[in-house]
Amino acid sequence: MKPNKPTIIAVAGPSASGKTLFAQTIHDELIDELGEGGISIIYEDAYYRNQSHLTMEEREKTNYDHPDSFEHELLTEHLEKLTNHQTIHSPVYCYKTHTRTDETKEFQPTKIVLIEGILLLANKKLREKFDIKVYMDTPLDICLVRRIKRDLVQRNRSVESVTSQYLETVRPMYYEFIEPSKAWADIVITRGGKNRMAIEVLKAKIRQLSALPPQI
């Protein structure tokens, strides 16, 4: 007998669309119920490429909404390891310095692996690793308001820098890469990360998957 393969659930969509809230809510409401080894969350943002070799000025010019800004090769490798019941050490990214820290975060394989990020569904090799693909379909104007509030408080940004980045890279990259990736989603969720019906539906599916007997 071999243990069940972990179920990997991707939650994608535009920046500030409610992805983190949605995934975190599901995780927090199921963690006690599923027990140790039941559920975990990985963040695509942790896999922004290491830029320690660049000056701060150069790092600030990076297009963080383009697929090339992520080390998706490493993320794909880590998901493969989790699928094979191997422990991984995820990078830790710092938004203030725009690069990775020297630390890593250990992830043990769990029955359910949630992963959230803006460009998860835009990468073919990553899509092949996902068992369920969710897309948060939140209007861009709402995302912008949320992004300004978040970046001012959590990332020490100015309104000018946030709006400038939005117009120069966030919005164009949304239309080029993120919005088209919605076509690959199994589930499209409106009304953001507080959509209780969507949360309950996915929780019910996770409970069902977690209760499956081992494969022979």
Give how far Cα 93 sits from Cα of 39, 104, 182, Å: 22, 9, 26
Looking at residue 214, its pLDDT comes to: 45
Q: What is the pTM of this model?
A: 0.91
- The low-confidence residues of the chain, meaning pLDDT below 70, are 1-3, 212-216
pLDDT tens string 55-80: 999 998 999 999 999 999 999 999 99
- Domains of the chain: residue spans and CATH: 7-208 (3.40.50.300)
Looking at residue 212, its pLDDT comes to: 55
